[in-house]
A and B are shown apart, each in its own frame.
Chain A
């Protein structure tokens, strides 16, 4: 289907972008380490060791962190594609984690496989339910979702804080966290890969299906059209834009909620306050770097997972504050924006988000 000339250009751009991204990472890291007065070599070594330096680091640190980033990244990507600026993935993740933990803890008597499925389903419903508050305000009262979702993030944070000190607190009432979920209900580990759990397969599956829906189905095309131009989608396409965007908002919330459930059943095995180190916010960067394509999200989530894992190692081994990585992530987004601006000024065609060329 694709004209050869265009495909070559697209590949050229993919490479240019990838190189720009890597340069941005290395350049910013070196610069920040230098400016901060840290040893550049030991900082870089720690970053490498913590992320890709060993099989253990890759699986148990990088991939484990990539899982929630992938799920929330896809959640943000599809919402943004539909023109829904859902920046509430963090709150939806927390709502999903709480719902998943509650189900896993109360249904302990049922067969383990059923409990796992029900807990994950509950986390998706919890995330969608949390998103539905903002979706309702948006469709009924035209409340900007940018405002409502970020506010609901804080509500979710404090709601979880309440839950782990109240209804869901562990029986001794000492620690602000829930009881630990029984071993049988944990997501199975992937053999030979340390702490890496099967949530990775779920996240990869979600990313694949979401990308496929956008590219190949009528519903996905409606979503893209509604996000691209609500007026043209309505007038020329006969698309019910409000229904399309509301539905996408709920699915987005469900995926973010699922990330919370997967985190509880695969990593933390209990609900507590700081269950997410801001995955839902990083997800925005993950999605933007992937240019809102769920397939590319799988790659960028991996990159950010590696950065976050490396940040931990830098802090432990080289005494570099882990917030440095946040700055690197921000620099990445700037690099992507710059690359986009560069492309718009050059003669390269903007074909990369087309369902046929992507």
Chain B
């Protein structure tokens, strides 16, 4: 794979040979990015491929272990965001960095130095509104603005600081389709004016529609760098998910636990529509059935609606419309274990007792809970001094095994159902294998399991069927790594 630029060609922003290690995770190894002046550059990759890390290094929020950075052909050492800004680099984060109770002008004035002249800032905002076509009211309070408008404020913040290289992290993830199109048109015009924009995205179609150049990261390495005209959705998908394993993994998982004949539906959704806490529709008109003994894998890039889908299946979110039939008690292993699954300061027994605590009456039989906890610890190989130590003293893997045990085993219900979300995140290899084995054996015992993982390989390893969630739609796909990968990013 040849790089389209030699190192002598003019660059707006270049990162060469960047290494970054967090603990024993190599987030980036010799990652490279070359952004030409006057172009929009799409930076693609799966979750965890290293896109955000690379851009945080470019913007001075992280320090690289090795490698060099160039801005407008000059070697620079970006040691902080302030240095990046001084070099004309701006970044629009996926999660906005605005103060909601302040006005647009005040937010834009943040990060300035010396005397605060709000009138001057307001004039500057008006100029920007004219030059960019963003309709920004300097006196509007940010919390009253739509998400799209807040994003325009973020961009304006960077532009006020004279950013000529703008990094946008998943800018369309939070936008409605019309707003996305408008934003991408603006990005195009910004680049055409001689600036440069880096667009971090999962969405292939978006990348291909607006970008001049494309760089793909996979597991911290630059695996593809090409002009837009030289790539197709297929080549990009292969680069993103890797070809070496395609097909083989899917087959191995399909062999041992095919759906049983005469299995019955445990979950049944009919034209199910789900909204998030802000009332924004996240899943629309989903219709499916999930049977006993199945592991249904959910594949999706971030913020595609899977979060809401999982919570609805787990009985933690009521449908906005449509029908969702699920068992009365569904086990749920959420991604954010520390906030949603355990009481960190309480003992293992108390954490086991937490399941069903809302409906319990009368006395707590702590002796029985303790015995039950010891049984679960034995069965699930949870390593702890006793059932009475605080769960925070356990390793992540042991905490997760206890949560899994609690959610799987404590049902008197004959219809066992479990929803798991990134069940092995942060776990080591051994704990990961144990969790996988538990999920498989539970399915063989007739449990209906819904598994979401941001690692498509984990989905393919375990799932007997796969649903892809993309832009509010849920659809089933065959166990084909490439087709799933494409569907996740809207390329198929």
Contacts and interface: CB of A to CB of B under 8 A. Distances in A.
Whether A associates with B in a native complex is yes
14 contacts: A1-B366, A217-B363, A217-B364, A218-B357, A218-B360, A218-B361, A218-B362, A221-B353, A231-B340, A237-B358, A238-B358, A353-B345, A354-B350, A354-B390
B408 to A, nearest CB: 13
A98 B347 CA distance: 43
Contact of B393 (A225, A235, A237, A349): A349
Contacts of A228: 343-346
A239 B358 CA distance: 4
Given A218-B360, A237-B354, A238-B358, 9 more contacts: A1-B388, A225-B357, A235-B332, A238-B356, A239-B358, A240-B358, A350-B390, A351-B388, A351-B390
Interface in A219-239: 220-222, 224-225, 228-229, 231-233, 235-239
Contacts of A350: 345, 390
Interface string A331-358: 0000000000000000001110111110
Contact of A236 (B342, B366, B370, B393): B342
A229 B357 contact: no
Nearest to B342: A232
Contacts of A225: 343, 346, 350, 354, 357
Contact of A354 (B342, B346, B356): B346
A302 to B, nearest CB: 28
B388 A232 contact: no
B385 A229 contact: no
Contacts of A224: 346, 350
Nearest to B337: A232
Given A225-B354, A237-B354, A237-B355, A356 B342 contact: no
Interface in B288-318: 316
Given A6-B388, A231-B340, A355 B366 contact: yes
A237 B356 contact: yes
A231 B355 CA distance: 13
A172 interface: no
B359 A235 contact: no
**Which 7 A/B pairs are nearest by Cβ-Cβ distance?**
A238-B358, A218-B360, A237-B357, A239-B358, A235-B340, A237-B354, A228-B343
Interface string B265-277: 0000000000000
Given A222-B358, A354-B350, A232 B364 contact: no
A84 B386 CA distance: 31
A215 to B, nearest CB: 8
B8 interface: no
Interface of A: 1-3, 6, 215-218, 220-222, 224-225, 228-229, 231-233, 235-240, 349-351, 353-357
B359 A3 contact: no
Interface residues of B, number: 36
Contact of A238 (B340, B341, B359, B367): B359
A354 B354 CA distance: 14
B491 interface: no
Contacts of B350: 221, 224-225, 354-355
Given A235-B341, A349-B390, A351-B347, A216 B363 contact: yes
B386 A3 contact: yes
Contacts of B45: none
A225 B332 CA distance: 18
A205 to B, nearest CB: 19
B319 interface: no
A242 to B, nearest CB: 12
Contacts of B60: none
Nearest to B341: A236
B68 interface: no
Contacts of B342: 229, 232, 236
Interface string B361-404: 11110110010000000000000011011100100000000010
A216 B370 contact: no
Nearest to B390: A350
A44 to B, nearest CB: 39
B343 A232 contact: yes
B371 to A, nearest CB: 9
A291 B341 CA distance: 25
